Amino acid sequence: MQLRVLGSGTISGRTNRKCSGYLLDEQILMDCGPGIWSALYRRDQRMRPIDHILISHFHVDHIADLVPLLWRQWVLEKERQNPINLYGPRGLPDWFDKLTAVHHDWVKDLSISLIEMDEAEIEVGSYSVAARPTGHTDNSICFRIGDTDGKSAFYSGDSGWHENLIQLADSSDLAIIDCASSVQDPKEDHLTPVLAAKIADLAGVKRLMLTHLYPEAWQFEPAMEASQYFKGAIILAQDDLLIFI
């Protein structure tokens, strides 16, 4: 299992970073924020079709590049062998209907399966995917993905402190956790490096990746703050970083 960080940034500040997007084994895309389309295109100018797209919630910094990605998939439709499977929180069908209404008929021409997740465990190709609510929004979710070799990756999406993060991240090989806030200026609906580290420690994960940091969080050496509470390996997410899990 390998993970490519396509975008590790936020909608404000540090504009050299793209917003949220993570590609697992070149097959599963988790979130598709602004800049992810260009990151995918630069990596593979032919843009091989992506069959599985997981959306943690509907905020623009996590979904803005879904439309250009779907457009490219529409252009490649004759080359596709499988439908596009779009997985997301409660309300996904209604949200996608509104997206279709804005962008008109070409979206309707795509072969898309919408899979609504809340507290679900499903098979996605050769992977198992579990989701749990996070409380960041009324319907935001986090994901855990496991492969046939027993490797697992956890992705928090955006979240404040929530027991579901600890439960779903349990013993994962890599936990990708939002820490947009700083200890000096905590936000109720985002984690700090310290809180992310405490979740990783309680969950017993092997490696912790801190991501989605706002400028204020970068000012206070987030990895050092996290290392006080989590003794495993800590990775600061960087765009185009490749991690072998």
Kindly give the pairing relationship between strand 84-88 and strand 52-54.
parallel
The closest alpha carbon to 4, from 240, 168, 209, belongs to 240
Q: What mean pLDDT comes out for the span 52-77?
A: 88
17 pLDDT band, cuts 50/70/90, is confident
Report, as an integer, the average pLDDT of 11-32.
Answer: 88
Q: E-assigned strands of 138-220?
A: 141-146, 152-155, 174-178, 207-211
CA–CA distance, 135 with 148 (Å, rounded to integer):
30
Contacting residues for 10 by C-beta, under 8 A, at least 6 apart: 17, 19, 61, 180, 212, 213, 214
Of 39, 36, 38, the residue nearest 53 (C-alpha): 36
With a cut of 90, say whether residue 15 has pLDDT above it.
no
Most confident of 25-39, 163-177, 217-231: 163-177
Q: What is the pTM of this model?
A: 0.93
The single-letter DSSP state of residue 79 is G
How many Å apart are CA 168 and CA 171, to the nearest integer?
A: 9
- Give the C-alpha separation, 124 to 97, whole Å: 23
Q: Tell me the pLDDT of the chain averaged across its residues.
A: 90
User: Is the domain 2-237 a CATH 3.20.20.140 member?
Assistant: no
Cβ count within 10 A of residue 5: 23
Of the pLDDT bands very low, low, confident and very high (cuts 50, 70, 90), residue 184 is: low
Residue 70, H or E segment: helix 66-75
How far apart CA 151 and CA 2 sit, in angstroms, is 10
**Residue type present at position 19:** C
Q: Determine contact, residues 74/51, Cβ cutoff 8 Å.
A: no
79 confidence band (pLDDT: 50, 70, 90): low
Measure the CA–CA gap between 73 and 240, rounded to whole angstroms: 22
**Alpha helices for 159-221 (secondary structure H):** 163-169, 193-203, 215-218
CA angle 137, 143, 146 (to 5 degrees): 175
